[in-house]
Structure 1
Amino acid sequence: MDFKIAATSAAISLCALAGSAQAQTSVLISQRNLSFDAALQAATTALETCRKNGFRVTVTVLDRGGRTRVVLHDDNVSPHTLENSLRKAYTSLTFRIPSGDMGKRIAANPTATSPLLLDKVTSAQGALPIKAGADIVGSIGVSGAPGGDKDEVCAQTGIDKIAAGLN
């Protein structure tokens, strides 16, 4: 009888230790994130590319948590591009897709518009997720060129500029 009690007590203790160890390992996590310097390089490159193409734009770069890292608002750009570049970047980050793909999803299934009811979500093209391997570490949104396809080209050049550091 004493042996059964001791064995049961030992089993309970082991389970408690295992549960405790499990809880301790999941208290903190490490995540890769976009540095300020990388965000600034990507934004600057995107802005310069749009300028070379004859467009004045606003560029917004978000980190993996959706926090704004950089906003560049060029001279003589409409004020709405500030919000639009943020919404594009936010959509790309949270849905892990180019922002224009949201528009394609909704066009393919017009009854699935509920994501557009969320704050800061848009179906406008012009933002891309920034990936380090399989991890999304941020996003870049551009607004102001005459068409989201042109905004997206500028965003891609920003990502290309920092690509070597993402691997």
Structure 2
Amino acid sequence: MKHFIFAAITATCTLATPILAQDSDDAFVTFKVLKPEVAQTAALAAMQSCREAGYQVGVMVVDRFGSPQVYLRDRYAGLHVFETARRKAWTAVSFRTDTMSLSGLTEPGQMMAGIRELTEPLALGGGLVIEAAGSIVAGIGVSGAPGPDLDAECAQAGIDAIMDDIAF
């Protein structure tokens, strides 16, 4: 009987070791965010993409927590673009989805329509999540093009400009 109990305890400890190894006693978590220079490259590329298409826009890049990292505004962009670009980028990282998709999900009558009643989210296309190695590292929001789909295209150009820098 003693051998059986000893074998059971040994087997339990052996099987539990990998589980315990995954959960460290460290009180900290690690995460990645874009360096300011990389965020600036994305914002500039997005603005230039819209400029080449004839649009004057504002571009905001936020970190994974929604805090602003970079804001660029083209010379003739409207006054509203600061707030809308910031809120689009914030919404993308907060809800972990692009704001064009969120727009459809939050239409009146949809299950998530209540999101539109909150003060910060902006369910209007032009906000995209920036991901690297399966993790959100930033969000980018563009405002000022003549349609939210065009804002989203410029935001994607900003992400495309940094893909080599953030690819793992």
Q: In which range does the TM-score fall when normalised by the shorter chain?
A: 0.7 to 0.9
Structure 2 equivalent of residue 130 of structure 1: 130
Whole-Å separation in 1 of the counterparts to 2:105 and 2:161: 29
Count of matched residue positions in the alignment of Structure 1 and Structure 2: 146
Over the aligned positions, Cα root-mean-square deviation in angstroms equals 1.7
Structure 2 equivalent of residue 91 of structure 1: 91
Structure 2 equivalent of residue 148 of structure 1: 148
Whole-Å separation in 2 of the counterparts to 1:135 and 1:149: 24
**Structure 2 contact 106–114 (Cα < 8 Å) conserved:** no
Whole-Å separation in 1 of the counterparts to 2:93 and 2:111: 23
Post-superposition shift, 1:76?
1.6
Instruction: Provide TM-score, normalisation by structure 1.
Output: 0.82
Q: Which moved more, 1:75-84 or 1:56-65?
A: 75-84
Q: Which runs of 5+ in 1 are unaligned?
A: 1-21
Identity of aligned residues (%): 34
Q: Which runs of 5+ in 2 are unaligned?
A: 1-22
Following superposition, which runs of at least 4 residues in structure 1 exceed 4 angstroms of deviation?
Answer: none
Instruction: Provide TM-score, normalisation by structure 2.
Output: 0.81
Deviation string for 1:17-70 (max 9, x for gaps)? xxxxx6732x11110111101100000000011000000000000011211000
Structure 2 equivalent of residue 24 of structure 1: 25
**Structure 1 contact 86–120 (Cα < 8 Å) conserved:** no
Matched, 1:76 2:63: no
Q: Secondary structure at the match of 1:61?
A: strand
Whole-Å separation in 2 of the counterparts to 1:108 and 1:133: 35
Q: Secondary structure at the match of 1:160?
A: helix
Post-superposition shift, 1:108?
7.9
